[in-house]
A = this chain, B = another copy of it.
């Protein structure tokens, strides 16, 4: 049983505090958004830090939260509930993070730790799933009951909303398409398979493709930028470098293929693209559009499945992660007001 179900504490929940906080934890930053109960933004804070050891993580997160609350002209006293998006596998009922590779967390009872420190309702969810639920809730892609959010960064995964509800799956694995094989003759993925989506289009995969090409003797303006990042490759593609353009073009083709798969499998109406790689903007989007057009031109079925507005790129300014976490906070507040929560979880 978690802190907010203990007798004598329930009177706090759903009543005290006027502010909601959404915390998005990444490998190199913590982004916090603070809003009132009607979701009007009141403050924000971006801490450029990694969460370090699990022991120090809660302290670092609370420091970022306090800074965002201060930006909103408030403090923890005004806090009603907190939502946290974590890049890893999360048991939403307990808030335990079973595995977050990029954070170095394993079986961390993160939700409990945070509830104990804050004495407030806390909801923890995988960051990409939270983002998808947030996009749906705020109708960012229009009034759609079926959509996907495809996050392309260090890793790749999708959050899927079906019939107006976030689809997690019985093992919380739904949307883990980063390790779906798109090219059986493609490069070896760290997961062990060949040609996974992540091995073709993630940030590290893009940088690796450029490195391999340079090592094989290709000339490119990228030569002076080693060690390379995906950002370098997109920058040089925009600058007209043929090798960088070639790589970015291929990446767009694979992402178009993945969008096609998401649409055919789930029948989602639109797919939002986000994550670090998506921040390259037009240089990122144009090759995807060309990839989608190749599919549409080849197949009437693909044309019907992939309407002109099927993809939407959401840059860093869209704050997709923190917004998803903020929607989680509202959900935590609602759940805390319902005495049946513990039984529901037991029934699930």
Binding site for B on A (CB under 8 A): 144-146, 162-163, 167-177, 179-185, 189, 191-194, 257, 260-269, 295, 298-302, 305
Asked whether, in the complex, the Cβ of B170 is within 8 Å of the Cβ of A146, the reply is yes
- Which of A189, A263, A301 has the largest number of chain B CB atoms within 10 A? A301
Query: Bound complex: CA of A257 vs CA of B180, how far in Å?
Result: 9
Q: A163-B167, A177-B265, A191-B301 are in contact. List 16 more A-B contacts (CB 8 A).
A: A144-B170, A162-B162, A167-B266, A169-B267, A171-B267, A173-B263, A176-B264, A179-B299, A179-B302, A180-B265, A181-B182, A181-B261, A184-B257, A185-B185, A191-B299, A193-B299
Q: List residues of chain B with CB within 8 A of the CB of A265.
A: 174-177, 180, 261-262, 265-266
Q: List residues of chain B with CB within 8 A of the CB of A163.
A: 167
Q: List residues of chain B with CB within 8 A of the CB of A301.
A: 179, 191-192
State the main secondary structure of chain A at its contact with B. Answer: loop
Leading 7 A-B pairs by shortest Cβ distance: A169-B267, A192-B299, A174-B267, A173-B267, A192-B298, A191-B299, A193-B299
Query: Bound complex: CA of A297 vs CA of B191, how far in Å?
Result: 11
Q: List residues of chain B with CB within 8 A of the CB of A264.
A: 173, 176-177, 179-180
